[in-house]
Amino acid sequence: GRNARDILKNELREVLAKGTSSTPGLQSDPIATKPDFGSLEVYYQTVHRAEGGYPASGAEALVRWRHSQRGLLTPASFIPVAEEGGLIDALGFWVLREACRTACKWPEHTFVAVNVSPAQLRRPNFAEEVFAVLEESGLPPSRLELELTESSLIEDNSDVYSVLQSLRSQGIQISLDDFGTGFSCLSHLMRFDIDRIKIDRSFVSLLGTKANGAAIIGAIVALSRNLGISTTAEGVETEYQRDFLAALGCTDLQGYFFSKPVPLRELDCFREAESAAGLLTPISGAVA
């Protein structure tokens, strides 16, 4: 109800105000005068090339709220609250900063994808704010991918258009998330020069059933290829889906079959490169 949302909103406001410490576990501070509502954490889910043995090409940042009383909350339970409460900008920039700092330590050919809410994109200075985060973190713009939803682009807004132009002019990649679930008007969407389309998992889950999943995905992939747009299939859960999507010509694949979203400390696939680059401090005598 409304009251529960208001409580959550106020708690989130406090979490953001204290800087959303990314060190979980400090549940109670005896000196603190304010209650502790936990902290935000960024989880990462790898994205894999559909060719060459499915190497990880990058990872998507997915925010979590480690709430001291309610446990680990997924975005569905608090992103709408953040949007409604005017907190999405603060939350979004915190995630962006975390993701850029983290990806700096990954291999150079990898990207990090960050979700962007429609309200963030409506900020006239959004592009400049993103550039500032990139500069501060040292991540090359070409290694950042911003995931937008169709609803961000549907409002015929020339400001959004120029913000996107500005982001792309610096080499930031733009992808369209959950593709196919909105009221996509293709000609409208193509006006925005998208780098990647993420095919919603509702289509992927139809593969191997009698429904038209394969035909729809095939059409999206063919269209994208003709336009020079990459495609990522979301929600790949089975080997059958992986093979089918690779055969259809998707460029990248993402889903539980490869990995669930995991906290940074469990993201192993970029670790070898990190330690090779001398970025991990070896703990002598430590037993794993």
Q: Contact positions toward Mg ion, by CB under 5 A?
A: 115, 147, 177-178, 200, 234
Q: How far is the CB of 281 from ligand C2E (least distance, A)?
A: 28
Q: How far is the CB of 175 from ligand C2E (least distance, A)?
A: 10
Say whether residue 261 binds ligand C2E (CB under 6 A).
yes
Stretch that binds ligand C2E, among 10-18, 29-37, 110-118, 138-146 (CB under 6 A): 110-118
Q: Which is nearer to ligand C2E, 46 or 110 (CB)?
A: 46
User: In whole angstroms, how far apart are CA 221 and each of 196, 213, 229, 230?
Assistant: 11, 12, 9, 8
Q: Which of 38, 180, 213, 235 binds ligand C2E (CB under 6 A)?
A: 235
For ligand C2E, which is the closer residue by CB, 206 or 273? 206
58 interacts with ligand C2E by CB under 6 A: no
Closest contact distance (angstroms) between CB of 28 and ligand C2E is: 27
Answer for which of 22, 49, 75, 131 binds ligand C2E (CB under 6 A) is 75
Q: How far is the CB of 36 from ligand C2E (least distance, A)?
A: 22
Range in contact with ligand C2E (rule: CB under 6 A) among 206-214, 220-228, 233-241, 244-252: 233-241
Query: Out of Mg ion, ligand C2E, none, which partner does residue 95 contact, by CB within 5 to 8 A per kind?
Result: ligand C2E
Give the span between the Cα atoms of 83 and 80, in whole angstroms. Answer: 5
Q: Is 89 in the site for ligand C2E (CB under 6 A)?
A: no
CB 128 within 8 A of CB 94: no
Least spacing, CB of residue 234 vs Mg ion, in Å:
5
φ, ψ of residue 262 to 5 degrees: the values are -130, 155
**Residues 145 to 204: which contact ligand C2E by CB under 6 A?**
147, 177-178, 201
Task: Please list the helix, strand and coil fractions of the chain in percent, rounded to the nearest 5, in that order.
Answer: 40, 20, 40
CA gap 62, 170 in Å, rounded: 24
Q: Where are the beta strands (DSSP E) in the chain?
A: 39-49, 56-67, 71-73, 111-115, 144-148, 173-179, 196-199, 230-233, 252-253, 262-263
Written as one string, the DSSP assignment of 144-183 is EEEEE-HHHHHS--HHHHHHHHHHHHTT-EEEEEEETSS-
- Which residues make Cβ contacts (< 8 Å) with residue 224, sequence separation at least 6? 197, 230, 231
Among 16, 50, 59, 62, binds ligand C2E (CB under 6 A): 62
Give the residue among 89, 75, 83, 65 at the shortest CA–CA distance from 11.
Answer: 65
